[in-house]
Amino acid sequence: MFKLKMARLFPHFSVKTLKLNERSAARPLQGFYLPIVTFIGRRSYASQIEQVENKSVLITGCDSGFGFSIAKHMHAKGFTVFAGCLLKDKGDSGVKELESLKSDRMKTVQLNVCSKEEVTRAEEFIRRNLKDAEKGLWGLVNNAGISTFGEVEFTSMETYKEVAEVNLWGTVQMTKAFLPLIRRAKGRVVNISSMLGRMANPARSPYCITKFGVEAFSDCLRYEMHPHGVKVSVVEPGNFIAATSLYSPERIKAIAEKMWHELPEVIRKDYGRKYFDEKIAKMETYCNSGSTDTSSVISAVTHALTSTVPYTRYHPMDYYWWLRMQIMTHMPGAISDRIYIY
Ligand SMILES: NC(=O)c1ccc[n+]([C@@H]2O[C@H](COP(=O)([O-])OP(=O)(O)OC[C@H]3O[C@@H](n4cnc5c(N)ncnc54)[C@H](OP(=O)(O)O)[C@@H]3O)[C@@H](O)[C@H]2O)c1
């Protein structure tokens, strides 16, 4: 009855009944059936498409994961793609696969977003290889990123800095280097943030602070670029860890072991190994629970690069995280704390 009424009221929305404890263990409202209005199709991503002919895009972090798929997808759509790869010089398999397309519209570029020299060299290479440098570069997708986990008291300052170096300062450095070309094209900047750039989560501070930074940077840039005709979008993926190389079980174990061994004695004593291991086990569960289908992320980036009216923010994520993000970003902190601190 509820479904019927909602379908009549909102023909573009669909209503799904989710059993929350199937989607996630140890979440509030466990075992309850909660009718959730899900806005499937709330964004059809179907609006006027810009001409792609003679347009070029640069994507960072194309060795694997989202970057690799976006590079292939944008190439298939007819763009000239400059695929920034961290391990091009080392002959990484992702790079080889992109190069095996043997297309003059797919150009891999050695690019560590933290290295000023490599960023400068990449900018020179791209400028030389554009059909008309005066017409500029259409798109920059700041996708390169790393992740880690650990409660504040478990995380070293080196780790905080290491993650920020890639995710935040890498994004800022790349954007500053390529804005002159993007401005000439009145093009697009698409920053891959995360749902954790909008809402915090325990044991994720080293990652969250970098993605919150990317969100702030993107907003400032969007305001500043508006008069220049450059559009800036942020894509905030949910949990797709199972589909990319961001984490692997081995990596989680390695991070955990290193973290434990580097902990100050007082922290080890106060928390104890049992507590620490429980937190690591939670992280392992989270990493195994994500979506393996990245098509919603790829569609979001494609829309941001090709639509005449790109969105400010894209939220490719499952219903649980989408709802949680709405509650955490739009309701008073006292309410979201009540629901999500457990
Ligand atoms: N997967 C998710 O669930 C998820 C969710 C939200 C947001 N994101 C974001 O999505 C983006 C892509 O991540 P992903 O999930 O596709 O993971 P991924 O498969 O690990 O891809 C990240 C890519 O960035 C590259 N990279 C790392 N450090 C770099 C550096 N200094 N310079 C240039 N490239 C560098 C990596 O190269 P190597 O492989 O050679 O290290 C890798 O190719 C990241 O910004 C991530 O934070 C991911």
Determine the residue of 59, 64, 163, 252 to mutate for testing ligand 1's pocket, defined as the one with the most ligand atoms within 8 A of the Cβ atom.
64
299 alpha-carbon distance from chain centroid: 13
Give pLDDT, residue 32.
36
Q: At residue 117, what is the residue type? A: E
**Is 85 a catalytic site residue?**
no
pTM for this one? 0.89
Domain residue spans of the chain? 2-38, 56-316
Domain 56-316: state its class.
alpha beta
d(CA 9, CA 2): 11
| Residue 245 Cβ < 6 Å to ligand 1 | yes
Tell me how far the alpha carbon of residue 147 lies from the centroid of ligand 1, in angstroms: 8
CA-nearest of 231, 236, 238 to 304 is: 231
| Residue 302 Cβ < 6 Å to ligand 1 | no
- Return per-residue pLDDT of the chain as tens, 342 residues: 444 434 433 333 343 333 333 333 333 333 333 334 444 434 566 656 778 888 999 999 999 999 999 999 999 999 999 999 999 999 989 999 999 999 999 999 999 999 999 999 999 999 999 999 999 999 999 999 999 999 999 999 999 999 999 999 999 999 999 999 999 999 999 999 999 999 999 999 999 999 999 999 999 999 999 999 999 999 999 999 999 988 888 999 999 999 999 999 999 999 999 999 999 999 999 988 899 999 999 999 999 999 999 999 999 999 999 999 999 999 999 999 999 998
Tell me how far the alpha carbon of residue 145 lies from the centroid of ligand 1, in angstroms: 4
Residue with tokens 């937190």: 279
Q: At residue 11, what is the residue type? A: P
User: Token pair for residue 33?
Assistant: 């059936």
d(CA 319, CA 213): 25
| Residue 296 Cβ < 6 Å to ligand 1 | no
Q: Which of 114, 208, 220, 287 is catalytic?
A: 208
Q: Which sign, positive or negative, has the C-alpha torsion 44, 50, 54, 55?
A: negative
Q: Which ligand 1 atom sits closest to the C-alpha of 142?
A: 45
Give pLDDT, residue 289.
86
